[in-house]
Amino acid sequence: MRVLVTGASGFLGRAVAAAIVAAGHEVRCLQRRPSGVTGATDVLGTITDPAGVAEAVAGVDAVVHLAAKVSLAGSPADFETVNVGGTRTLLAAARAAGVGRLVFVSSPSVAHSGASITGSDAEPADPARARGDYARTKAAAELLALAADSAELRVVAVRPHLVWGPGDTQLIARIVERARAGRLPLLGHGAALIDTTYIDNAASAIEAALERVDAVHGNSYVITNGEPRPVAELLAGICAAAGVAAPAWSVPASVARTAGSVIEAAWRVFPGQDEPPMTRFLAEQLSTAHWFDQRRTRADLHWTPAATLDEGLERLAAHYRSL
């Protein structure tokens, strides 16, 4: 199968493209800079350029769409342009080129309204209730993608949750950096149960969805390791792997949420060079439970995680020892 992967220069996209190559498929990657994926062919460009997208999809059998603006802050218009507009452009090009399969890589945040999630399956994406511009636009994009599902273009949405692993410059690097600087508190008591997904598992699940599109199209699936742990335990495990001290102080969750709202408002007026230190969405993610029922995902995709959470932490520790 000839497969286009968008966003393959990112942490997850690179792993997904490599997994699809390893499965024996011919892979083309579309992103703004070289993907570095051995065995794949790069097409440099952006998901918002119709001509470039049309060139990238020409002759492929399937698309795995990961390209997105992923951030805790930024211009709402930029999120709309990339996440919604880019998806719309890709869908139009895929239909025009006769592409038969599309895997839309989404996020559980598209159906998260701030309350705890305890054992839910993939609830419908809801832009009106999603928290923050990223989640709102990803929800709108997922709805666009699933609305395009047909006998000619079969579409499935997958939502990997909190993907992490060696080489992650977002979640893991930020946790370690803040812990090292003594700026990583627990919110509340750190007891909220949270699911995460080790990078190899996320990539293999997305590759499994690609293989199973014909049987599962029209559906959304949350992907996790299926091993919910308390936030404090997760953070301690990551910090131990990196050789830094675990959080030793806490902030009431309500205070963090209020502070996050204030920081978000200030960031829109005076944006910093990096991500804001706290947002309301981040405070909610760190202080409320979010773990998911994986039975339908595993049965429908014919997939199970290959690496446990503890094995992932061991690999993370080995990575930091090698630096």
Q: Provide the annotated active-site residues.
A: 134
Per-residue tokens: 235: 């953070």
- The helix/strand/coil state of 187 is strand
Cβ 34 vs Cβ 22: under 8 Å: no
The residue with tokens 């998901």 is: 47
Q: Give the DSSP H or E segment for 136.
A: helix 132-147
Sequence-ordered strand ranges (E) for 215-287: 220-223, 229-230, 250-251
Tell me the C-alpha distance between 130 and 178, whole Å.
27
Q: 249: Cβ–Cβ under 8 A, 6 or more apart, which residues? A: 185, 186
Evaluated on CA atoms 221, 209, 163, 104, the torsion sign reads negative
Tell me the C-alpha distance between 56 and 47, whole Å.
10
Q: 25: Cβ–Cβ under 8 A, 6 or more apart, which residues? A: 1, 2, 3
Tell me the C-alpha distance between 129 and 117, whole Å.
14
Evaluated on CA atoms 131, 134, 136, 138, the torsion sign reads negative
* 74 phi-psi bin (left φ>0, alpha ψ -120 to 50, beta other): left
Residue 12 main-chain phi, psi, to 5 deg: -75, -45
Tell me the C-alpha distance between 42 and 4, whole Å.
10
Residue type at 40 in one-letter notation: A
Cβ 106 vs Cβ 144: under 8 Å: no
